Amino acid sequence: MSPTTEAPTIPGAKGHTDGAGAFVPVQTRSERFRSTDPAAFEAPTGREVNWKHTPIQRLQRLFADAAGDAGAVSLSVGGPVAAAGLAVGQAPRGEFFVPEDVPAAVAWTRSAEALYVSIPAEAELDEPVVIEATGGGADLVGHSHVVVEASRHSRATVVLRHEGSAQFAQNVEIIVREGAHLELVTVQRWDDDAVHAASHQARVDRDATLRHVVVSFGGGVVRVNPSVELAGAGSRAELYGLSYSDSGQHLESQVYLHHKGAETTGDVLYKSALQGAAARTVWIGDVLIGPDAVATDSYEANRNLVLTEGARAESIPNLEIETGDIRGAGHASATGRFDDEQLFYLQARGIPEAEARRLVVLGFLAEIVQKIGVADLEAELFAAIEEELAKEDLA
């Protein structure tokens, strides 16, 4: 893939012209303009398809092509493999990743050295590689580019943890080579005044598997957008997400799964719970089954549990199919309050209403937590859910 895709004929990369010269807005994720040059993008106005659900006034400092502040976000790596650095143009940096929005382009340009985590071929790591990102202050702007490469027939788990506070634009480039199995978990437990815009782009090669999990609890505005291309025949992607939005929080994920190779499999499931005035989540799921992706099996779903008045969840699933030879494809979305039948069942067995509500929320979110496969992290997240539930009276 070239660093810059073909430029649109309409300034601002908002659309193109058809054969008759008429303006046609960008409608699908696959048509979006991409470039490593921040100047190639117009500043978002909130009317663009990829920004109209985001509070862009709170991300203004991430749109500026300026150097970041020293100490804004410090990165450290622990675990069974050592990290290295990659300059711009040094492989495999840029082998697949090309920014599709302004913060990602700025992060690309302003990250002189990318953090590189390489899993050796044939290696099977018993412990996760943990990348810690710690913010140095809400007024500081930081950028980073991370490259994670799982070499042929390797097996590993990589955990990205985010804490503290900052204005942070982040790119994560993920390459899963033939036959490899990679699990990448990104956990956002920022302070309430943090702003985080992350672009994850992954390519999964032949007979390889990527399990990608997004967990967002903290932060004022957190926008983590995963884009995964199932490039090789027999490749598989499992994309899961969990968010818990409190009053004033905006937690967002725009997910893109591109079935490009034959006999590929995709499973997308994101869940969120919301409580408190102005708590908000946004989930947009785009699945594209390309013309060569025969015998594909793909499904995406989003479930949202609204716990209090004033909370709002937006859920937009999209499915585009360019071949008739598939095993299956579907999408679903549901947003609602407590299931009265579940509450009645628990209360009928002597469980008080408040405890019954707690159990329903835990049961709803547990499906995602249990997919992580890292015992210590799962225990931490269950404890975090309990902390969230204790913040407000759900009755």
Tens of pLDDT, residue by residue over 260-291, are 999 999 999 999 999 998 999 999 999 999 99
pLDDT in the model for residue 344: 78
Q: What is the pTM of this model?
A: 0.92
Q: 22: Cβ–Cβ under 8 A, 6 or more apart, which residues?
A: none
pLDDT in the model for residue 5: 46
Q: 176: Cβ–Cβ under 8 A, 6 or more apart, which residues?
A: 150, 182, 202, 203, 204, 205, 208, 209, 210, 235
Q: How many CB atoms lie within 10 A of CB 374?
A: 17
**How does pLDDT run across 295-330, given as a tens digit for each residue?**
999 999 999 999 988 999 999 999 999 999 999 999
pLDDT in the model for residue 149: 98
pLDDT in the model for residue 349: 82
- Give the largest CA-CA distance in the chain: 69
Amino acid (1-letter code) at residue 271: K
pLDDT in the model for residue 360: 86
Half-sphere exposure of 292 (CA within 13 A, CB side): 7
pLDDT in the model for residue 277: 87
pLDDT in the model for residue 248: 93
pLDDT in the model for residue 345: 75
Q: Left (φ > 0), alpha (ψ -120 to 50) or beta: where does 373 sit?
A: left
pLDDT in the model for residue 2: 40
Q: Which of 271, 284, 163 is nearest to 219 (CA)?
A: 163
Question: Taking each helix axis from N to C terminus, what angle separates 353-369 and 340-347, rounded to the nearest 10 degrees?
Answer: 120
Alpha-carbon Rg for the chain, nearest whole angstrom, is 21
pLDDT in the model for residue 390: 83
Question: Taking each helix axis from N to C terminus, what angle separates 353-369 and 375-391, rounded to the nearest 10 degrees?
Answer: 150
Residues of the chain scoring pLDDT < 50:
1-13, 394-395
